[in-house]
A and B are shown apart, each in its own frame.
Chain A
Amino acid sequence: MLVFTRRRNEAIIVADGIEIRVLRVSKDAVRLGVTAPADVPVHRQEIYDQIREENRRAASSPATLPAVLGQVARRSEEPA
């Protein structure tokens, strides 16, 4: 891992045209500004991690299709 010391208003540049700038520093939080090309998504890591975990669960679903259809059909018969 590359480690940098940055002060307020200083930035690092990643690849071509991705700038990560320190906007504000407080006791236990840092406010960052990210400037990236129009087609580069930027996410908070915890959101990405949640979706990754759910994808892994989905891909390892043990049930076969009849089980899914049975579950949904059974519940569709219940009163709303």
Chain B
Amino acid sequence: MSGPRPSADVTRVETAFGSFDVAADQILSFPAGMPGFEECRRFVVLSSRELEPFQCLQSVEGPTASFLVVDPRRAFPDYRCVLSEVDRARMGQPDEAGLVWLAIVTVQADQTMVNLRAPVVVNPTRMIGFQLMPSNSLYPLRFELTRLH
């Protein structure tokens, strides 16, 4: 991810998982922020070989909003979340096959939890993302990640 020369279009982002050079066209808009981090409206999804299969969802406006994320299907293979009409509308009526789903990982002393209740969904076509709060989801807020599928 490191370009040969930094330019005006590249931002260097420092994370707990290393430094990344982020091009302006990689930056996602989160118009509602994230619950608890409502002021953070611009995020980037960072990948590296060391992080695989995890990624880092990182705010580019401050160091506080940094989340380890994973495809929810790596935690729970049958995972399926249906977009509500409101979510479809604010994501721009996306082609659902092209959406990217990310579940937030919480690391504790001896447990790793994955939030399957409120997934982050990104529409790469519009470079826009939201953390969904489906009212009727049966998935747990804290699903223990015991193995990766």
Contacts and interface: CB of A to CB of B under 8 A. Distances in A.
Contacts of B17: 64-65
B36 A59 contact: yes
Nearest to B117: A51
B16 interface: yes
Contacts of B89: 38-39
B122 interface: no
Contacts, number: 100
B13 to A, nearest CB: 15
B111 interface: yes
A67 to B, nearest CB: 6
27 contacts: A38-B86, A39-B90, A41-B32, A43-B133, A47-B133, A51-B117, A52-B35, A55-B35, A55-B37, A55-B67, A55-B131, A56-B36, A58-B67, A58-B104, A58-B105, A59-B36, A59-B64, A59-B65, A61-B68, A61-B108, A63-B107, A65-B16, A65-B51, A68-B68, A71-B110, A72-B146, A72-B147
Interface of B: 16-17, 32, 34-37, 50-51, 54, 64-68, 85-87, 89-90, 104-112, 115, 117-118, 131, 133, 135, 141-142, 145-148
Nearest 4 Cβ contacts at the A-B interface: A63-B107, A52-B35, A52-B36, A39-B89
